[in-house]
Amino acid sequence: MKKLLFVGVFGLSVIHSFSNTALNSWTQLSTIAPIISTRANLVNLAKNNVNNWINAININFVKQNMDVSIVANFINNDSIFHIDLQVIGDKNYNLTDSYLAQLFMGLNKQINITLEPYQLQLNAQELKGKVSVTDKKNKVFKALEFTEILKALSGNKVLKEAQDLLIKMGAVDQDMRLGKTKYDVKVDQQHITTLKAIIKKIGWPTIDKVGAQASHFAWLLVQHADFDLDLQKTVLQYLKTLKPDQFNPNEIAYLTDKILIQEGKKQIYGTQFKVDKDKNIVPEPISDYKELDKRRATLGLENFKSYLSKLYSIYGKKK
Protein backbone atom coordinates (compact mmCIF):
# COMPACT_ATOMS: atom_id res chain seq x y z
CA MET A 1 0.00 0.00 0.00
CA LYS A 2 1.07 3.54 -0.68
CA LYS A 3 1.71 5.28 2.61
CA LEU A 4 1.03 9.01 2.67
CA LEU A 5 2.99 11.23 5.02
CA PHE A 6 1.84 14.69 5.98
CA VAL A 7 4.74 16.23 7.81
CA GLY A 8 4.21 19.19 10.07
CA VAL A 9 0.42 19.18 10.05
CA PHE A 10 -0.56 16.82 12.81
CA GLY A 11 1.86 16.38 15.64
CA LEU A 12 -0.14 13.25 16.32
CA SER A 13 2.36 11.01 18.00
CA VAL A 14 1.52 12.33 21.46
CA ILE A 15 -1.92 12.46 23.07
CA HIS A 16 -2.19 14.84 25.99
CA SER A 17 -1.87 12.96 29.26
CA PHE A 18 -3.32 15.22 31.93
CA SER A 19 -3.47 14.48 35.61
CA ASN A 20 -7.05 15.71 35.42
CA THR A 21 -10.46 14.19 35.81
CA ALA A 22 -11.38 11.63 33.18
CA LEU A 23 -14.58 12.57 31.39
CA ASN A 24 -16.91 9.85 30.15
CA SER A 25 -20.42 11.28 30.31
CA TRP A 26 -22.30 14.56 30.36
CA THR A 27 -23.88 13.56 33.67
CA GLN A 28 -20.42 13.33 35.13
CA LEU A 29 -19.53 16.65 33.53
CA SER A 30 -22.40 18.45 35.26
CA THR A 31 -21.21 17.02 38.57
CA ILE A 32 -17.50 17.68 38.34
CA ALA A 33 -17.47 20.86 36.32
CA PRO A 34 -20.32 23.15 37.42
CA ILE A 35 -18.24 26.16 36.36
CA ILE A 36 -19.09 25.43 32.72
CA SER A 37 -22.23 27.34 31.94
CA THR A 38 -23.66 25.08 29.26
CA ARG A 39 -22.64 21.92 27.51
CA ALA A 40 -23.40 23.62 24.20
CA ASN A 41 -20.56 26.10 24.72
CA LEU A 42 -18.10 23.30 25.35
CA VAL A 43 -19.33 21.31 22.36
CA ASN A 44 -18.99 24.34 20.11
CA LEU A 45 -15.45 24.96 21.34
CA ALA A 46 -14.57 21.31 20.64
CA LYS A 47 -16.16 21.46 17.18
CA ASN A 48 -14.20 24.59 16.33
CA ASN A 49 -10.92 23.03 17.40
CA VAL A 50 -11.63 19.85 15.45
CA ASN A 51 -12.71 21.74 12.33
CA ASN A 52 -9.68 24.04 12.44
CA TRP A 53 -7.44 20.99 12.70
CA ILE A 54 -9.21 19.35 9.75
CA ASN A 55 -8.98 22.53 7.69
CA ALA A 56 -5.20 22.52 8.18
CA ILE A 57 -5.05 18.93 6.93
CA ASN A 58 -7.24 19.74 3.93
CA ILE A 59 -5.04 22.70 3.02
CA ASN A 60 -2.08 20.35 3.01
CA PHE A 61 -3.96 18.02 0.65
CA VAL A 62 -4.45 20.94 -1.73
CA LYS A 63 -0.74 21.80 -1.58
CA GLN A 64 0.01 18.22 -2.63
CA ASN A 65 -2.46 18.47 -5.52
CA MET A 66 -4.61 15.73 -4.04
CA ASP A 67 -8.36 15.82 -4.51
CA VAL A 68 -9.01 14.69 -0.95
CA SER A 69 -10.81 16.26 1.99
CA ILE A 70 -11.74 15.26 5.52
CA VAL A 71 -14.99 16.06 7.30
CA ALA A 72 -16.02 15.45 10.90
CA ASN A 73 -19.60 14.41 11.57
CA PHE A 74 -20.78 14.93 15.15
CA ILE A 75 -23.44 12.23 15.46
CA ASN A 76 -25.21 14.07 18.28
CA ASN A 77 -25.16 17.82 17.92
CA ASP A 78 -24.88 18.38 21.66
CA SER A 79 -22.22 15.76 22.36
CA ILE A 80 -18.48 15.25 21.83
CA PHE A 81 -18.60 11.51 22.54
CA HIS A 82 -19.64 10.20 19.12
CA ILE A 83 -17.88 11.50 16.01
CA ASP A 84 -17.26 10.01 12.57
CA LEU A 85 -14.33 11.11 10.44
CA GLN A 86 -14.75 10.74 6.68
CA VAL A 87 -11.88 10.97 4.19
CA ILE A 88 -13.37 11.77 0.80
CA GLY A 89 -11.37 11.48 -2.41
CA ASP A 90 -11.79 11.30 -6.15
CA LYS A 91 -10.24 7.82 -6.04
CA ASN A 92 -8.96 5.20 -3.62
CA TYR A 93 -5.65 6.58 -2.33
CA ASN A 94 -4.97 3.38 -0.35
CA LEU A 95 -4.54 5.21 2.94
CA THR A 96 -2.92 2.90 5.49
CA ASP A 97 -4.49 1.75 8.74
CA SER A 98 -1.65 3.57 10.50
CA TYR A 99 -2.67 6.85 8.86
CA LEU A 100 -6.32 6.38 9.87
CA ALA A 101 -5.17 5.64 13.42
CA GLN A 102 -3.23 8.92 13.39
CA LEU A 103 -6.42 10.74 12.44
CA PHE A 104 -8.22 9.15 15.38
CA MET A 105 -5.44 10.15 17.78
CA GLY A 106 -5.45 13.65 16.36
CA LEU A 107 -9.20 13.94 16.89
CA ASN A 108 -8.88 12.88 20.52
CA LYS A 109 -6.07 15.36 21.01
CA GLN A 110 -8.08 18.29 19.60
CA ILE A 111 -11.00 17.56 21.91
CA ASN A 112 -8.68 17.43 24.91
CA ILE A 113 -7.15 20.76 23.92
CA THR A 114 -10.67 22.15 24.43
CA LEU A 115 -11.14 20.39 27.76
CA GLU A 116 -7.75 21.14 29.24
CA PRO A 117 -8.58 24.63 30.60
CA TYR A 118 -11.45 23.03 32.56
CA GLN A 119 -9.16 20.35 34.06
CA LEU A 120 -10.96 17.63 32.12
CA GLN A 121 -9.80 14.88 29.81
CA LEU A 122 -11.73 12.71 27.35
CA ASN A 123 -10.18 9.25 27.40
CA ALA A 124 -9.77 7.78 23.93
CA GLN A 125 -11.69 4.69 25.07
CA GLU A 126 -14.79 6.82 25.58
CA LEU A 127 -14.74 8.27 22.07
CA LYS A 128 -17.13 6.43 19.77
CA GLY A 129 -17.24 6.49 16.01
CA LYS A 130 -15.19 5.46 13.01
CA VAL A 131 -12.79 6.68 10.35
CA SER A 132 -13.92 5.88 6.83
CA VAL A 133 -12.41 6.42 3.39
CA THR A 134 -14.94 6.99 0.59
CA ASP A 135 -15.27 8.41 -2.88
CA LYS A 136 -17.46 11.44 -3.58
CA LYS A 137 -20.46 9.16 -4.09
CA ASN A 138 -19.93 7.66 -0.63
CA LYS A 139 -18.58 4.36 -1.91
CA VAL A 140 -16.62 3.03 1.07
CA PHE A 141 -13.05 1.91 0.37
CA LYS A 142 -12.13 1.33 4.00
CA ALA A 143 -13.62 1.91 7.45
CA LEU A 144 -12.17 1.39 10.91
CA GLU A 145 -14.18 1.63 14.10
CA PHE A 146 -12.43 3.53 16.89
CA THR A 147 -12.56 0.34 18.97
CA GLU A 148 -10.56 -1.48 16.27
CA ILE A 149 -7.98 1.29 16.23
CA LEU A 150 -7.61 1.24 20.02
CA LYS A 151 -7.11 -2.51 19.95
CA ALA A 152 -4.40 -2.17 17.31
CA LEU A 153 -2.70 0.66 19.23
CA SER A 154 -2.70 -1.50 22.36
CA GLY A 155 -1.06 -4.30 20.39
CA ASN A 156 1.56 -1.88 19.08
CA LYS A 157 2.34 -0.83 22.64
CA VAL A 158 2.97 -4.45 23.64
CA LEU A 159 5.28 -4.91 20.64
CA LYS A 160 7.19 -1.73 21.50
CA GLU A 161 7.66 -2.90 25.08
CA ALA A 162 8.95 -6.26 23.80
CA GLN A 163 11.30 -4.50 21.39
CA ASP A 164 12.75 -2.30 24.14
CA LEU A 165 13.25 -5.28 26.47
CA LEU A 166 14.98 -7.37 23.81
CA ILE A 167 17.35 -4.57 22.84
CA LYS A 168 18.21 -3.97 26.48
CA MET A 169 18.85 -7.67 27.17
CA GLY A 170 20.82 -8.05 23.96
CA ALA A 171 23.12 -5.20 24.96
CA VAL A 172 23.73 -6.77 28.38
CA ASP A 173 24.39 -10.14 26.73
CA GLN A 174 26.96 -8.65 24.38
CA ASP A 175 28.73 -6.73 27.15
CA MET A 176 29.21 -10.00 29.04
CA ARG A 177 30.45 -11.88 25.95
CA LEU A 178 32.88 -9.11 25.03
CA GLY A 179 34.29 -8.91 28.54
CA LYS A 180 32.97 -5.45 29.27
CA THR A 181 31.10 -6.82 32.28
CA LYS A 182 31.58 -9.98 34.34
CA TYR A 183 29.82 -13.04 32.95
CA ASP A 184 26.96 -14.34 35.10
CA VAL A 185 24.92 -17.37 34.03
CA LYS A 186 22.09 -16.14 36.27
CA VAL A 187 21.73 -13.13 33.96
CA ASP A 188 21.44 -15.48 30.96
CA GLN A 189 18.80 -17.49 32.81
CA GLN A 190 16.82 -14.38 33.70
CA HIS A 191 17.00 -13.24 30.08
CA ILE A 192 15.50 -16.52 28.92
CA THR A 193 12.73 -16.30 31.52
CA THR A 194 11.89 -12.83 30.20
CA LEU A 195 12.14 -13.98 26.58
CA LYS A 196 9.70 -16.83 27.25
CA ALA A 197 7.24 -14.31 28.72
CA ILE A 198 7.61 -12.18 25.58
CA ILE A 199 7.03 -15.20 23.34
CA LYS A 200 3.91 -16.05 25.33
CA LYS A 201 2.54 -12.56 24.62
CA ILE A 202 3.50 -11.97 20.99
CA GLY A 203 4.86 -15.25 19.63
CA TRP A 204 8.41 -15.39 18.29
CA PRO A 205 9.75 -11.81 17.91
CA THR A 206 10.05 -11.62 14.13
CA ILE A 207 11.40 -8.60 12.27
CA ASP A 208 7.92 -7.42 11.30
CA LYS A 209 6.91 -7.40 14.98
CA VAL A 210 9.90 -5.87 16.76
CA GLY A 211 12.42 -4.83 14.11
CA ALA A 212 15.63 -6.44 12.91
CA GLN A 213 17.84 -5.60 15.90
CA ALA A 214 15.44 -6.82 18.59
CA SER A 215 14.58 -9.94 16.58
CA HIS A 216 18.28 -10.76 16.20
CA PHE A 217 18.86 -10.25 19.92
CA ALA A 218 16.00 -12.65 20.71
CA TRP A 219 17.78 -15.31 18.65
CA LEU A 220 21.11 -14.43 20.26
CA LEU A 221 19.72 -15.01 23.74
CA VAL A 222 18.56 -18.46 22.66
CA GLN A 223 21.88 -19.16 20.94
CA HIS A 224 23.64 -18.56 24.27
CA ALA A 225 21.13 -20.54 26.35
CA ASP A 226 23.07 -23.83 26.48
CA PHE A 227 21.25 -24.61 29.73
CA ASP A 228 17.92 -24.85 27.83
CA LEU A 229 18.46 -27.22 24.93
CA ASP A 230 14.72 -27.83 24.57
CA LEU A 231 14.14 -24.14 23.96
CA GLN A 232 16.93 -24.04 21.39
CA LYS A 233 15.39 -26.98 19.52
CA THR A 234 11.91 -25.46 19.66
CA VAL A 235 13.10 -22.10 18.34
CA LEU A 236 15.12 -23.77 15.58
CA GLN A 237 12.08 -25.65 14.31
CA TYR A 238 10.03 -22.46 14.38
CA LEU A 239 12.65 -20.45 12.50
CA LYS A 240 12.52 -23.03 9.73
CA THR A 241 8.83 -22.17 9.17
CA LEU A 242 9.40 -18.44 8.70
CA LYS A 243 9.74 -16.47 5.50
CA PRO A 244 13.24 -15.07 4.85
CA ASP A 245 12.10 -11.48 5.43
CA GLN A 246 10.90 -12.29 8.96
CA PHE A 247 14.35 -13.16 10.35
CA ASN A 248 17.99 -13.59 9.33
CA PRO A 249 18.24 -17.06 7.71
CA ASN A 250 21.84 -17.59 8.80
CA GLU A 251 20.55 -17.76 12.37
CA ILE A 252 19.36 -21.27 11.46
CA ALA A 253 22.94 -22.28 10.68
CA TYR A 254 24.38 -21.05 13.96
CA LEU A 255 21.61 -22.54 16.09
CA THR A 256 21.70 -25.86 14.22
CA ASP A 257 25.44 -26.21 14.79
CA LYS A 258 25.12 -25.16 18.44
CA ILE A 259 22.57 -27.90 19.08
CA LEU A 260 24.57 -30.55 17.21
CA ILE A 261 27.74 -29.80 19.20
CA GLN A 262 25.82 -29.95 22.49
CA GLU A 263 24.51 -33.36 21.46
CA GLY A 264 28.03 -34.59 20.77
CA LYS A 265 27.59 -34.55 16.99
CA LYS A 266 29.51 -32.87 14.17
CA GLN A 267 28.36 -29.46 13.02
CA ILE A 268 27.25 -29.00 9.40
CA TYR A 269 27.69 -25.25 8.76
CA GLY A 270 31.05 -24.57 10.41
CA THR A 271 29.87 -21.82 12.74
CA GLN A 272 31.07 -23.19 16.08
CA PHE A 273 34.64 -22.88 17.39
CA LYS A 274 36.66 -23.82 20.43
CA VAL A 275 40.08 -22.83 21.84
CA ASP A 276 42.86 -25.43 21.45
CA LYS A 277 45.85 -26.10 23.71
CA ASP A 278 47.81 -23.34 21.96
CA LYS A 279 44.96 -20.90 22.64
CA ASN A 280 43.99 -20.69 19.00
CA ILE A 281 40.38 -20.78 17.91
CA VAL A 282 39.67 -23.87 15.86
CA PRO A 283 36.41 -25.14 14.36
CA GLU A 284 34.48 -27.87 16.09
CA PRO A 285 34.38 -31.11 14.01
CA ILE A 286 32.55 -30.62 10.71
CA SER A 287 30.48 -33.26 8.91
CA ASP A 288 31.05 -33.78 5.14
CA TYR A 289 33.58 -30.97 4.83
CA LYS A 290 33.62 -31.13 1.00
CA GLU A 291 29.99 -29.95 0.82
CA LEU A 292 30.41 -27.35 3.57
CA ASP A 293 30.42 -24.24 1.38
CA LYS A 294 27.33 -25.39 -0.52
CA ARG A 295 25.43 -25.79 2.73
CA ARG A 296 26.66 -22.41 3.97
CA ALA A 297 25.58 -20.72 0.74
CA THR A 298 22.00 -21.94 1.14
CA LEU A 299 21.68 -19.81 4.27
CA GLY A 300 23.57 -16.78 3.02
CA LEU A 301 26.92 -17.52 4.68
CA GLU A 302 30.24 -16.72 3.00
CA ASN A 303 32.64 -19.51 2.11
CA PHE A 304 34.32 -21.12 5.08
CA LYS A 305 37.89 -20.13 4.19
CA SER A 306 37.00 -16.43 4.09
CA TYR A 307 35.06 -16.75 7.33
CA LEU A 308 38.00 -18.44 9.02
CA SER A 309 40.42 -15.76 7.82
CA LYS A 310 38.23 -13.04 9.30
CA LEU A 311 38.10 -14.82 12.64
CA TYR A 312 41.87 -15.18 12.72
CA SER A 313 42.27 -11.49 11.90
CA ILE A 314 40.08 -10.66 14.88
CA TYR A 315 41.29 -13.18 17.45
CA GLY A 316 44.78 -13.84 16.09
CA LYS A 317 46.58 -17.13 15.46
CA LYS A 318 49.52 -18.06 17.65
CA LYS A 319 50.80 -21.06 15.65
**Dist CA 72 CA 110 (whole Å):** 12
User: Phi and psi (nearest 5°) for 209?
Assistant: -90, -45
User: Phi and psi (nearest 5°) for 145?
Assistant: -70, 150
Q: Which of 251, 144, 143 is nearest to 207 (CA)?
A: 251
Residues 6+ away with beta carbon under 8 Å from 149: 97, 100, 101, 104, 131
- pLDDT of the chain, 319 residues: tens digit per residue: 333 333 223 222 223 333 344 545 444 454 444 444 556 777 888 889 999 999 999 999 898 888 899 999 988 776 778 899 999 998 877 788 888 888 998 998 898 888 888 777 778 888 889 999 999 999 999 999 999 988 888 888 889 999 999 999 999 999 999 999 999 999 999 999 999 999 998 899 999 999 999 999 999 999 999 999 999 999 999 999 999 899 999 999 999 999 999 999 999 999 999 988 888 889 999 999 999 999 999 999 999 999 999 888 887 765 5
**Quick count: other Cβ atoms within 10 Å of Cβ 314?**
8
Q: Do residues 74 and 157 make contact, with C-beta atoms less than 8 angstroms apart?
A: no
Rounded to 5°, the CA angle 207-94-245 comes to 20
